[in-house]
């Protein structure tokens, strides 16, 4: 096995002296096993780059130089430059994958690079991508699970760095960003053809103008997995319109990686709505306040003193289209049939107007997206960087009180009904 000695010395010197926050993150990820190869632990290949002010450019150059010596062969320009670009992109994507603890989906099928595809438009080629991935796999720098036809559709190849490669990628992580290029509002999710459908709205539409303003403000700031914030509707403008940015994909349950990153070099916290989907439904459909601790109330009613189990029940029951699907889903996650029945009865006894098994989640996510967009726009006015995390925002710790007030006001403005939310602040 080959050792990347020169780059290794340069990189480790930077870790120990210049980036103490990186030392914390590395200690956290080193305690984790390789993620499971499941869809929830996959991430898309993206057009990444190092920030212009990054001090990691020499380290990236040295690593790429090393791999170019191994793979460039007799290539002449421009093919040599094209291969170098592929090495840079793959290594930067693998650096993000290490910290997100996600397998990187890589395009190895020639059809993914056909004329007019997003990959082809980005100047990527099947041959160069194959050269990079094949070399990394043959030299045992990565784990590779090859794609295949699965359940009637193609499944992309997935890669994850081995420890000996990850070590050389660590210092790059905090300085990687995606280009800030519109559209910032899309309808549809990335497909196996690496495309998405852009909502055809005029440029002066309030949704378009709002998202443009948010990203123009954020572009000059720094945070981990820096990328545009996109308002993404899953199917149409009535379904699951949530704010998305890759920062959300950093783990925070398996290990507190996301919470131990920084915004503009300062420690952050996350301000989170409590039991938000249940609160939104009761407020919108019944003009009711869910109280201080609705999950705890259901625990007491059901005599099942496991808040996480109650939360899982509410989450699934409000997202499912019917009772049977909800029961099957929860059974796979350790909720017995008896517990399901008890939790259902307890929920409806405590909250008779709650509507279960009606896919309410789709509407709730639309509301959450609009609420958080209001907060991010308020952040621009106050000069506060806000990063969306599903139904929460990450801000510098000094802005925690401001975020609580802004989120409460935005929730009430969007929902109305004279009901206010409950919020909590999570610190590293």
Q: What percent of the chain has pLDDT over 70?
A: 89
The answer as to CATH 3.30.450 being correct for domain 185-274+362-426 is no
Residue 200 has a pLDDT of 56
pLDDT at 166 over 60: yes
Give 428's Cβ-side CA count (13 Å radius). Answer: 17
pLDDT tens, position by position, 187-210: 765 544 334 444 456 666 788 899
Residue 377 has pLDDT above 60, yes or no: yes
pLDDT for residue 423 = 96
Report the C-alpha gap between 98 and 227 in whole angstroms: 17
pLDDT value, residue 156: 87
**pLDDT value of residue 121:** 80
Cα–Cα separations (whole angstroms), residue 78 to 72, 126, 131: 12, 15, 16
Contacts of 370 (CB under 8 A, 6+ apart): 241, 414
pLDDT tens digits, one per residue of 320-330: 999 999 999 99
103-130 mean pLDDT: 87
Share of the chain above pLDDT 90, in %: 76
Per-residue confidence at 155, pLDDT binned at 50, 70, 90?
Answer: confident
- Spatial neighbors of 315 by CB under 8 A, at least 6 apart, are 277, 361
Helical pair 360-382 and 276-286, crossing angle rounded to 10 deg: 100
Q: Is 355 helix (H, G, I), strand (E, B) or coil?
A: coil
Of the pLDDT bands very low, low, confident and very high (cuts 50, 70, 90), residue 4 is low
The pLDDT of residue 234:
74
Q: What is the mean pLDDT of residues 347-374?
A: 94
How far apart CA 375 and CA 330 sit, in angstroms, is 33
pTM for this model (two decimals): 0.88
Tell me, what's the pLDDT at 14? Answer: 42
**184 has a pLDDT exceeding 50:** yes
Q: Distance (Å, rounded) from C-alpha 348 to C-alpha 284?
A: 17
357 touches 217 (CB < 8 A)? no
Q: Is the pLDDT of residue 118 over 50?
A: yes
- Say if residues 228 and 241 touch (Cβ distance below 8 Å): no
Whether the per-residue pLDDT at 11 is higher than 70: the answer is no
Q: Are strands 103-106 and 42-44 parallel, antiparallel or unpaired?
A: parallel
| Cα–Cα distance measured from residue 11 to residue 135, given in angstroms and rounded to the nearest whole number | 22
Q: With 50 as the cut, is the pLDDT of residue 356 above it?
A: yes
Q: What is the mean pLDDT of residues 270-281?
A: 96
Averaged confidence pLDDT in the chain: 89
Among 123, 51, 49, 129, CA closest to 87:
129
If you write DSSP's letter for every residue of 301-320 in order, what string do you get? HHT---HHHHHHHHHHHHH-
pLDDT, residue 122, reads: 83
Which residue from 242, 248, 234 is spatially nearest to 199, judged by alpha carbons?
234
pLDDT tens profile 303-319: 999 999 999 999 999 99
Residue of 87 and 362 predicted with greater confidence: 87
Domain coordinates in residue numbering, the chain: 5-177, 185-274+362-426
| pLDDT in the model for residue 202 | 64
Say what the pLDDT of residue 273 is: 96
> Does the pLDDT of residue 17 top 60, yes or no?
no
Number of continuous H segments (helices) and E segments (strands) in the chain:
15, 17
Spatial CA neighbour of 15 closest among 228, 168, 122: 168
pLDDT surpassing 80 at residue 359: yes
Tell me whether residue 40 is exposed, middle or buried, using C-beta atoms within 10 angstroms of its C-beta: 0 to 12, 13 to 18, 19 or more.
Answer: exposed
Give the integer Cα–Cα distance in Å for 65 and 88: 10
Among the listed residues 169, 177, 178, 174, the one whose alpha carbon sits nearest the alpha carbon of residue 64: 169
Q: At residue 396, does pLDDT exceed 90?
A: yes
pLDDT at 6 over 80: no
Do the beta carbons of residue 229 and residue 211 sit within 8 Å? yes
Looking at residue 97, what is its pLDDT?
97
């Amino acid at each position: 096995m080959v050792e990347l000695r020169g780059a290794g010395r340069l990189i480790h010197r930077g870790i120990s002296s210049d980036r103490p926050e990186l030392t914390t993150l590395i200690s956290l990820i080193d305690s984790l096993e390789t993620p499971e190869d499941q869809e929830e632990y996959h991430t898309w290949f993206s057009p990444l780059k190092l920030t212009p002010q990054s001090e990691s450019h020499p380290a990236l150059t040295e690593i790429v130089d090393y791999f170019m010596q191994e793979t460039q062969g007799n290539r002449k320009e421009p093919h040599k430059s094209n291969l170098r670009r592929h090495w840079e992109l793959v290594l930067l994507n693998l650096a993000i994958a290490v910290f997100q603890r996600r397998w990187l989906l890589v395009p190895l099928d020639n059809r993914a690079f056909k004329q007019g595809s997003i990959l082809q438009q980005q100047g990527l080629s099947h041959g160069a991508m194959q050269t990079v991935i094949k070399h990394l796999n043959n030299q045992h720098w990565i784990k590779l699970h090859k794609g295949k036809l699965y359940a009637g559709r193609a499944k992309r190849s997935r890669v994850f760095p081995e420890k000996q490669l990850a070590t050389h990628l660590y210092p790059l992580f905090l300085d990687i960003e995606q280009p800030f290029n519109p559209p910032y509002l899309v309808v549809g999710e990335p497909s196996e053809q690496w495309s998405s459908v852009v909502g055809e709205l005029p440029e002066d539409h309030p949704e378009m103008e709002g998202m443009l303003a948010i990203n123009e403000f954020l572009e000059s700031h720094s945070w981990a997995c820096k990328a545009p914030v996109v308002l993404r509707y899953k199917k149409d403008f009535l379904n699951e319109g949530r704010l998305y940015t890759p920062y959300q994909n950093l783990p925070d349950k398996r290990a507190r990686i996301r919470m131990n990153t920084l915004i503009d070099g300062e420690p952050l916290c996350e301000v989170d709505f409590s039991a938000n989907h249940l609160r939104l439904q009761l407020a919108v459909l019944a003009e009711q306040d869910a109280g201080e601790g609705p999950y705890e109330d259901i625990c007491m009613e059901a005599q099942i003193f496991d808040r996480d189990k109650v939360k899982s029940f509410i989450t699934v029951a409000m997202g499912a289209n019917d009772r049977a699907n909800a029961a099957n889903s929860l059974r796979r996650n350790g909720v017995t049939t008896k517990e399901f029945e008890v939790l259902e009865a307890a929920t409806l006894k405590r909250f008779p107007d709650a509507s279960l098994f009606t896919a309410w989640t789709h509407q709730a996510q639309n509301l959450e997206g609009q609420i958080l967009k209001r907060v991010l726009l308020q952040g621009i006015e106050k000069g506060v960087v806000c990063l969306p995390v599903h139904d929460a925002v990450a801000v510098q710790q000094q802005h925690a009180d401001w975020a609580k007030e802004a989120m409460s006001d935005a929730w009430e403005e969007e929902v109305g009904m004279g009901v206010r939310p409950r919020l909590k602040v999570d610190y590293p």
